[in-house]
Chain A
Amino acid sequence: MKARLWPLLLIVAAGCAAPELAPIRDARPTRLQRGERMLVEASAPLFDVGPPVTVTFDALGVTLPARAVAPDRVVATLDEDSPPLAGASTITVAQGAHRWTSDARTPFDVELCAPALQHLANGWAARLPGPAWLWWALALLMAAAIVAAPLPVVAGLIVVWERKISGYMGSRFGPNRVGPNGWLQWLADGLKLLMKEDIVPSAADPRLFRAAPYLAFLGLFLTFIVLPFSRYAIVADLDVGLLFLLSVTSLVVVSIIIGGWSSNSKWALLGGMRSAAQIVSYELPASVALLTIATLTGSLSTQRIVAAQGGWPWQWNLFHDPFTFVAFFIWFVSALAEGNRTPFDLPEAESELVAGYNTEYSGFRFSLFPLVEWVNIAVIGAVGTLLFLGGWRLPFVDNALIDAHPWLDACGFVVFVAKDLAIVFVVIWIRWTLPRFRVDQMMSLCWKYFIPFSFVCFVGELGWVWLMPPLAGRIVAGVLFAVFGVGFGGWFVARVRDNARRYHDLILNDALGRGDA
């Protein structure tokens, strides 16, 4: 009994020892422009409305006059002649003799892309002939190409990885011929598809048929704008990041319907219709599950959601409280459904619909659909990582340290990718284990179970954030997760040991006198 209890105690102790949130939090826009107002929120009514307040950016040494508009809200305005403020900093709010400092974990968001682009385009426009908008467009195109270039590589490598995993799971090898250990298989496949004839069926609607793959690609490509791979590796930290993510991924379903319908093939049409019903339905529980996190963090910005978490697992949103924990699984399963992955791969169920919505496609246009599908897995992993698994946060490292030592940012990137790949692995694992739902079963799962439960999570999270005192919340969540973890972990270990005991000798080569494999 004693041996069973100590991890429980450890987890509870760790939960209690986790640092408290700072009393104030800056809710600034990503970049403070001249003349713009900034808002500072407090976790409790701290300020007196009326007496003057100052807001100081500790690292920049800038102090702004401010005004308390409510007991928990302070508004400061940046002077007209002051330069825009950017750079990492904590802020200190002072009123009379009181001083409150914000949490160092709260970022003063860094933006590299937009200023760099602006600099580049302005430089070109100043030195080269032609209208300025042309150089701007060129700079934007260049940036888009830089973001888009890794996508085929990401998709290709995940495809090879998936084929290898599925091979090992199904007692096969998977690709092992092209390149080192088969890792260049994606290149060979992609080149082959590029060289194939681009066939448009004579009965298809040629314009829509041609446009559909690009729409799918666009939807996935745009998500990369708001994915924070590290503190600096983000294209644009939009204030509506989560909303943006949800909306652009919906483009994929539009493209699938267009592709399935315009092909003028019955199988493709069935696939497209299934996909429409499925993705539209599952977007609801997925969005509500994400709202749970937005409620907890108080922001839709992806960087802020990451920043609100910590480097240790018990600081992740996943283990914040039972509602976020359940929301994670609801979101994850819904994401599988939105990404057309087993057990929800009905739109392209190869044993039923031949190839589903992309039956009539060939060559390069066809290759875009699988590319989108596999990039989508990486996006699922990235979204799960940033929302629930702490993103790029490292233990013991705060933003000031990252700004001082850029190599720590690279570590953050590695951590993010590692978590992403862990989720990708689970997605692949599920695909190669489970059968497929039927359409009606999939729909009833969504509407009868996931949507109600996701709302329960959302409302429960509201209650938790509103009513639960922080320390009590940590203790309750710590105890719950410890009990759950010990129980589930014990069951899992027992099952694996049982399997290992029973099936230790599944390969019969020696008995049959077979040499290889």
Chain B
Amino acid sequence: MGELILANEATGEEMTLNMGPQHPSTHGVIRFIIKTDGEIMREAVPDVGYLHRAIEHIAEKCTYEGFMPYTDRVDYVCAMPANHAWALAVEKLAGLEVPERAEYLRVITDELNRISSHCIALGAMAMDVGAITPFTYILREREYVNELLEMICGARLTYNYHRIGGVGWDMPAGWRDKVLAWCDHFAPVMDEFDRLITNNALFVQRLAKLAVIAADEAIDYGLVGPNLRAAGVDFDVRRDVPYSIYPKLKFEVPVGRGLVGTVGDAWDRYWVRAQEWRQSVSMVRQCLAQIDATAPEFWKAPKKLKPVGDAMARVEAARGDMSCYVVGDGGTNAYRARFRTGSFNAMGIIRDKSRGLMVADLVALIASLDVVAPEIDR
């Protein structure tokens, strides 16, 4: 990266800007090296690796069960699906059956966490284009979700709730009603958020037709999740590679439609997430309606876990397809573990899409891809 800065300076006409790793709107410690001509960027080169904690190596050093808290740190904004991915991979490896109630609890917590993660994503996107109130406003909703999750697992950010073979605890008494009350409350809030910011003329003007990612480009760059769907590719792991009890739930997969500009623009990436809120709320409602019919067992696993072989599990996290690959060699630790996360691939497309944008648009582009620093580096 140092040589890149020097190489850019030599031309004289262009200015090299170092954005990050401590820049306020890079969503964590991410660094960009920007070549600009005044306000217009020639290129923005992402420099990742500032938040690398060798999580995958840690997986080799502690037991399968003991690694579960570390998966929270893979993506701390949306920790439940990472829990889920690890549990799913190890269960596949060991051939374990999970009690049905645990599957429901996993999906409920996954979806609640997806809602809270999208709260951050959409609020931060609004804040990065200059509107601060929507961020604090939607963070209040995230607080409610955090509180619901705290009631069920005792933590607000790093949950450590899923277990290999089930979940840590059953839901507490009265929790169901509280979640339903919150779902009723959240419906008008989503509408109000749309009125406050989604359809705000200035906001649309900033994001429409910005950094358009076409469907084939999105596939080429390996984008996943909302970023992929915003580009018009109708793919969702929950529906197309079903896991857990998702086949029993009715939900739609929102796909970018280019309502205010082109399919795959930054506003579409925003809009798809806003639509996923609604789907997630509906899924939580369905799960809560069905969960009473299940047996009370929520965890079933053998005392000793020494699987052999390899397994791969895919879950739909808030930032898209999170794959977890695990190899067991018959010991209590994994021989190798690997997480494939959405943010890392999203970083790859920034260099290509940043050409010709303005400096202010780079911030909107990063925010619209919803990259989270720990998920990039792990």
A residues lining the B interface (CB < 8 Å): 166, 169-172, 266-267, 270, 273-274, 342-343, 345-346, 349-354, 432-441, 499, 502-503, 505-506, 508, 511-514
Contact = CB atoms under 8 A, between A and B. Distances in A.
A351 B147 contact: no
A170 B360 contact: no
Contacts of A506: 185, 188-189, 192
Given A273-B38, A512-B178, A512-B182, A171 B202 contact: no
Nearest to A438: B360
Contacts of A441: 205-206
A434 B358 contact: no
Interface string B74-106: 000000000000000000000000000000000
Nearest to A273: B38
Interface string B103-116: 00000000000000
Which residue of A267, A433, A438, A512 has the most chain B CB atoms within 10 A of its CB atom?
A438
Contact of A434 (B127, B131, B148): B131
Contact of B202 (A170, A343, A345, A351): A343
Contacts of A352: 25, 359-360, 363
Nearest to A432: B133
B133 A433 contact: yes
A435 B181 contact: no
Given A266-B15, A273-B38, A435-B203, A342 B136 contact: no
Contact of A502 (B132, B178, B181, B188): B188
5 contacts: A169-B137, A350-B25, A434-B200, A512-B148, A513-B178
B179 to A, nearest CB: 10
Contacts of B359: 270, 352-353
A166 B144 contact: no
CB-CB nearest 9 A-B residue pairs: A436-B130, A170-B136, A511-B181, A435-B131, A351-B25, A435-B129, A435-B130, A351-B128, A432-B133
B206 A514 contact: no
B126 interface: yes
B131 A350 contact: no
B144 A508 contact: yes
Given A499-B192, A502-B188, 14 more contacts: A166-B133, A342-B130, A352-B25, A352-B360, A354-B24, A433-B133, A434-B202, A435-B126, A437-B205, A438-B206, A441-B205, A503-B189, A506-B189, A508-B182
Contacts of A354: 23-24
Interface in B187-206: 188-189, 191-192, 196-197, 200, 202-203, 205-206
B156 interface: no
Given A432-B133, A508-B144, A351 B361 contact: no
Contacts of A346: 360
Interface of B: 15, 17-18, 23-25, 38-39, 126-133, 135-137, 140, 144, 147-148, 178, 181-182, 185, 188-189, 191-192, 196-197, 200, 202-203, 205-206, 358-361, 363
Interface of B is mostly: helix
Contacts of B126: 435
Contacts of B39: 270, 274, 439-440
Contacts of B127: 351
Contact of A511 (B17, B129, B185, B191): B185
B247 to A, nearest CB: 31
A440 B200 CA distance: 18
A440 B356 CA distance: 13
A507 to B, nearest CB: 9
A181 B358 CA distance: 42
Nearest to A267: B17
Contact of B197 (A267, A342, A353, A435): A435
Which residue of A346, A432, A512 has the most chain B CB atoms within 10 A of its CB atom?
A512
Contact of A351 (B15, B205, B363): B363
Nearest to A508: B185
A159 to B, nearest CB: 15
Contacts of B25: 350-352
Nearest to A431: B132
A511 B178 contact: yes
A166 B134 CA distance: 11
A352 B360 CA distance: 6
A343 B130 contact: yes
Contacts of B15: 266
Nearest to B15: A266
A505 B186 CA distance: 10
B367 to A, nearest CB: 9
Nearest to A344: B130
Contacts of A353: 359
Nearest to A436: B130
B361 A438 contact: yes
Which residue of B15, B133, B205 has the most chain A CB atoms within 10 A of its CB atom?
B133
Contacts of B130: 342-343, 345, 349, 351, 434-436
A256 B153 CA distance: 52
A316 B192 CA distance: 36
A345 B129 CA distance: 11
A445 to B, nearest CB: 10
A350 B24 contact: yes
A166 B135 CA distance: 12
A351 B127 CA distance: 8
Contact of A170 (B132, B205, B358): B132
Contacts of B363: 351-352
B23 A439 contact: no
B202 A435 contact: yes
A270 B130 CA distance: 17
Nearest to B126: A435
Given A506-B189, A512-B147, A437 B202 contact: yes
B137 A512 contact: no
Contacts of B181: 508, 511-512
Contacts of B192: 499, 502-503, 506
B144 A172 contact: no
Nearest to A345: B130
Nearest to B189: A506
Contacts of B137: 169-171
Contacts of A499: 192
A270 B37 CA distance: 11
Contacts of B18: 266
Given A439-B39, A508-B144, A512-B182, A349 B360 contact: yes
Contacts of A437: 202, 205-206
Nearest to B185: A508
A511 B182 contact: yes
B128 to A, nearest CB: 5
Nearest to A342: B130
A42 B84 CA distance: 86
Nearest to A439: B39
A199 to B, nearest CB: 17
Nearest to A504: B188
A499 B191 CA distance: 11
Contacts of B203: 435
Contact of A436 (B24, B38, B129): B129
Contact of A171 (B17, B131, B136, B358): B136
A440 B360 CA distance: 10
Which residue of B127, B197, B203, B206 has the most chain A CB atoms within 10 A of its CB atom?
B206
A280 to B, nearest CB: 16
Nearest to B128: A351
